[in-house]
A and B are shown apart, each in its own frame.
Chain A
Amino acid sequence: MIEIRNVSKKFKKGWYALKDINLSIAKGDFLFLTGQTGSGKTTLLRIIYMDIFPDEGEAAVAGFLSSTIKEEEIPFLRRRIGIIFQDFKLLKDKTIYENVAFALEVTGQSGRKMREKVMKALTLVGLSHKRNDFPYTLSGGEQQKTAIARALVREPFILLADEPTGNIDPEGSEDIIKILQEVNTAGTAVLMATHDVVLAKKMGGNFIHLEQGQIVAE
């Protein structure tokens, strides 16, 4: 489902954020992407959701190739993957329900079917009772759960999580990872980038360790 082949990404002054990365993620995988700040984790995720493109090599994601994808095709790739960030990226002027529904509405979905999907996603993360609240009234952990619900409501084949526990206390962090594991058990692949190697090891699962843009351990 995701094939990263000999991917390198250079930033200014010839500095490599990623160097000759090879990686394959199949349906149902749960993978931690660990490494210190600056090791290239976010760059790799951005290449997968095609916010940036490799300078060398190629990424194949859900049938789209980084070398041939057209700009107008990128939204259709994004509809196949769920993405969550450290800073949640929720819309402050929308309620929790509206934030999740937004992901479906922008692609023209509406009505009872959409409402059911939104409520299902909110129930999955345990937030259906807070559907009418605004994000600023929620804790960091709850906001991240909302972001997860928004990512899952489109039923993606993979969930990309970029430091999802970065702004959350340790207890909340484990809670988030447990939800991600449940999501994974239900069949969605998860690729979670984190600098917290201890947490990744504690939660179990496979991991790839990046150092200075290169995979040093699998």
Chain B
Amino acid sequence: MFSIREALIGLRRNGVMTFIAIGIMFFSLFLFGAFLWGTFNLFGVIRLAREKVEINAFLRENLPEKQIEELSDKLMSMVGVDGVEYISKEEALGKFQEEIKDAPSLIEAVKTNPLPASFSIRLKDGYTSPKEVKEISEKIKIFDEFIAVEYGESWINKLDKVVKILFLFDILLGIVISFASVFVISNTVRLTVLARKTTIEVMKLVGATEKTIHAPFILAGSIEGGVAGIMSGGLLYLIYQLSSKFFVKFYFPHNLIIIGTVIFGIVLGMIGSKLAVKSTSKEMKFETTNV
């Protein structure tokens, strides 16, 4: 009870310091939350791109329907295959004509249907790396029914490189932002503790135990971190809402981003103030100029 009241009185009566601390923590947590948000969207985009990875296997002419069905089942049972779609000669031509509809003379030129029937094979998550795709297409090539197997090798290689670079960049940025947040927040909390050094001194003077000395500061630090977390989570949500209305609808996992920034704020506020009050109290000798 004493700790809660002390923490609240301390925050209220040292209003300017509390305001500055929450402000600085808010900016750090906002950056952290924005990074989290960015990361979720980046991974979303990568996932979408990877879903587009597929293998096209082109069939010989005039295969009996039963053989095609058996082949489809065989492909489905292969490791890493998520789905198989049969595209008949007619469908292939339809698609082709759709793609070249702006050039009517070309359509007219196509008198017969030269396109083969094919299977479009989608792959499961975790089987879309260049190595896996190549391995699966090699296995598909073994079937005699196919005249060719393609998977856009150069495109997959490029995608893989881009993903790796983005991933590395994201991790580096994450490390920098996390460290910066920890550094800024713990130092801010440290300053708020130091500003109330006399309180610690008086507590020691009148016989408070270390636990009693620490509790109000840890609580105050957590409150500051929590408030800053709520504010930054709220601002990110507002940006998301405005962006959805006027610009682009980003992916925004509310729970992870808002609760993430709040918890990060509380934990940093708590740990920062605990370390600050512990070292201040431990090193403290009663300030006196007398000998």
Contacts and interface: CB of A to CB of B under 8 A. Distances in A.
Interface residues of A, number: 38
Nearest to A17: B291
A205 to B, nearest CB: 21
Contacts of B213: 106
A86 interface: yes
The SS class assigned to the B binding surface is helix
B205 A78 contact: yes
Interface stretch (B40-48, B106-114, B196-204, B217-225): B196-204
A106 B288 CA distance: 23
A162 B10 contact: no
Chain B interface category by residue count: 20 to 34
A171 to B, nearest CB: 23
Residue among A52, A90, A107, A193 with max Cβ neighbours from chain B (10 Å): A107
A132 B1 CA distance: 22
B17 to A, nearest CB: 10
Contacts of B199: 91
Contacts of B288: 42, 46, 85-86, 162
A103 B290 contact: no
Interface in B9-26: 9-10, 13-14
Contact of A75 (B6, B201, B209, B290): B209
Interface string A27-63: 0000000000111111100100001100000000000
Interface string A93-133: 11000000011011110100000000000000000000000
B203 A41 contact: no
Interface of B: 1-2, 6, 9-10, 13-14, 198-199, 201-210, 212-213, 285-286, 288, 290-291
Given A41-B290, A106-B203, A162-B290, 19 more contacts: A39-B291, A42-B290, A51-B285, A72-B209, A75-B204, A78-B206, A78-B207, A79-B207, A85-B286, A89-B198, A89-B202, A91-B199, A94-B13, A102-B206, A103-B206, A106-B2, A106-B208, A107-B212, A110-B1
